[in-house]
Amino acid sequence: MNGITRIAIVGPGRVANHLAPAFKEKGIEITGIYGRDADDTAKLARKVEAPVIQDIGKRINADLILLCVSDDSIGEISAQLSSSNKAIVAHTSGAVPMSAIPESLRRGVFYPLQSFSADKNIVWDNVPFCIEAEHDEDVNLLGSVAEKLSNKIYILSSEQRKSLHLAAVFANNFANLMFEFSEELLEKADIDRSILHPLILETANKVLMQRASESQTGPASRGDVETIRAHRELLGEDNTYRTIYDILTQEIYDRNHH
C-alpha cells in the first residue's frame, strides 16, 4: 500500500460524524459506513456520499477500517471482521488497548485527543492524533493520514495512551466540573457567569506558557487561613461543594507548604 486513500467507517456516532467529512474534504474516499442504527448509518453515508456496509463479516473495500464505536464495543465488533481484510483496522479510543482488536487483523489505533460536541465544528490543525500500530509501516501510514488533518502527531503505546486518557479526564472532565461548580455559585449569588470567562481563559492560557504548578495562586497556595475559613462558612456543611473544597484546598496547601 502506498498510502491510505480509502477509508471505511464503523459506527456512525459523534467521532465518525466529525472525522468522516474531514477525511472526505481532504480527498480521501469514504468507501462505506457500517452501523447498528440504520437511520444514523444512512444519514452519515449520505453526508459523505458513501454506501452503507450491510455485512460487517465480509471483506471490506478500504485501506483503513476505522472503528468509531464505543469503548466496550471495540472487541466485539472487531471480532466480527473477516481476517481476509487487507486493510488496517484501527480504533479511535483513548482508553482501550490495541490488543482489544484480534491479532488476526492488521491492527492499529488512531485516537484524536479532543472533546467532540455534536454541534461544534472541530478545528483539526491542532488536534493531537495518537497513533499506534503493530507494524512500523502501518504507524507511518496512519501517521500520514493524520497529517492530512493535523500537524500534531504522537506515536504512543497502549500503556502511554491509557495514562494520557486518564490525564485528559483530569484536564477536561474534572476541570469542567470545577467550572460547573463556579457557575452554580455565581447563579446563587445572582451574578452573570460571564464574569469568570476572562479568568478561565487566562487559567488555560497560562498552562500553555508554564507548568500548572508554577501558575497556582489563591488562598490555599498562600496559606490564607482566614479566607479559607470564610469560604468554608459560605459553603456550609455536609455538601459536595464543601467536601471537594476541603480536599482540594488541603492538597494545594500541602503542595505549597512542604
Sole binder of a copy of itself in the list 25, 72, 76, 147 (CB under 8 A): 72
Sole binder of a copy of itself in the list 82, 83, 115, 151 (CB under 8 A): 115
Letters for 193-232 (x = contact with a copy of itself by CB under 8 A, - = none) are xxxxxxxxxxxxxxxxx-xxx-xxxxxxx--x-xx--xx-
Letters for 134-153 (x = contact with a copy of itself by CB under 8 A, - = none) are ------------------x-
Sole binder of a copy of itself in the list 87, 175, 237, 258 (CB under 8 A): 175
As a whole number of Å, the end-to-end CA separation of the chain is 57
99 near a copy of itself, rule: CB under 8 A: no
167 near a copy of itself, rule: CB under 8 A: yes
Which one of 4-12, 40-48, 56-64, 242-250 is the stretch in contact with a copy of itself (CB under 8 A)?
242-250
Shortest distance (Å) from residue 69 CB to a copy of itself: 13
183 near a copy of itself, rule: CB under 8 A: yes
5 near a copy of itself, rule: CB under 8 A: no
Sole binder of a copy of itself in the list 69, 142, 149, 252 (CB under 8 A): 252
User: Given the DSSP bridges, would you call strands 106-112 and 153-155 parallel, antiparallel or unpaired?
Assistant: unpaired
Where does residue 121 rank: exposed (0-12), middle (13-18), buried (19+ CB within 10 A)? exposed
Sole binder of a copy of itself in the list 42, 52, 139, 185 (CB under 8 A): 185
Write out the three cell numbers for 61: 473495500
